[in-house]
Amino acid sequence: GSELSLCSVIVDDLRSPAEKHILFNDGLFFDFSIINPELTYTLPLKHLAAGVTDGISHALEAYVGSDHEEMIFEGYYESIMNTLLKYGPQAMSNPTDYTIRSKISHATMIANHHNFCTEGVQQDWTCHDIERYITTAYHGVHGITLGILMPAFMKYVFSRNPRPFVNFSVRCLGVNPEGKNNAAIVKEGADNFERWLNKMHLPVKFTDIGLTYPQLISCIPENLTAGMLYQLKGDEIKELLSLCV
């Protein structure tokens, strides 16, 4: 999705631990790009899985940032997430299927696109704000770290703004809401998300990739505020990370 993003990442690996800095500028948009799914066939499956998960994370972090209904905005991101949830596992089994790879290429591309569907609507980005410190400190994979964070994030913050988390669980993660309260719906949604990660052969906890809770909290700045809507700080970030081990 970098061809439709105004964001660039610079890593200062002369520091220990390394630091990741983010730059936003309209000049970073490509003037012209060709997206050829055939050129993705030889991507290792680990990075295919991580890329699909990253696409979901970009859509989800925007989707859960609004505290009121935004029908066009929400429908746009639900279609992206449903496409990736459906075709991600299929691509893992059939990595050279042109139709499957083209749908993934299209969805991940527009998940990063700043356009008329997304501008002017509040977004959040809690998981990305936390992820960049963990991935940079321990030389991880961006999408894998985000995959571990997202189900825990759902369970930890949903009560502050239930509507988008309930909708995501029902409309994208296959939860039947009948007879269930919001907490049960979102928990089932998060559990279904972890089962999807298993289908993608991705870890669901940081301990699965050899990271302990003390290692996680040691790389998070004490003054970090994560997210534009949820604005997690200090002990809240620690509590969220405790759900990830």
How confident is the prediction along the chain (245 residues), in pLDDT tens digits per residue? 566 777 778 888 787 777 778 787 877 777 888 889 999 999 999 999 999 999 999 999 999 998 888 888 899 999 999 999 999 999 999 999 999 999 999 999 888 766 666 667 888 999 999 999 999 999 899 999 999 999 999 999 999 999 999 999 999 999 999 999 999 999 999 999 999 999 999 999 999 999 999 999 999 999 999 999 999 999 999 999 999 99
What is the pLDDT at residue 34?
A: 84
Q: What's the length of the chain?
A: 245
What is the structure's pLDDT at 5? Answer: 72
pTM: 0.92
233: enclosing H helix or E strand: strand 232-233
Per-residue pLDDT, 24? 78
DSSP-derived letter for residue 43 is: S
Residue 233's φ and ψ, nearest 5 degrees, are: -135, 160
Reference 132, options 7, 5, 45, 4; nearest CA is 7
* CA neighbor of 200 nearest in space, from 88, 98, 99: 88
pLDDT at 106 (0 to 100): 92
Residue type, 220: I
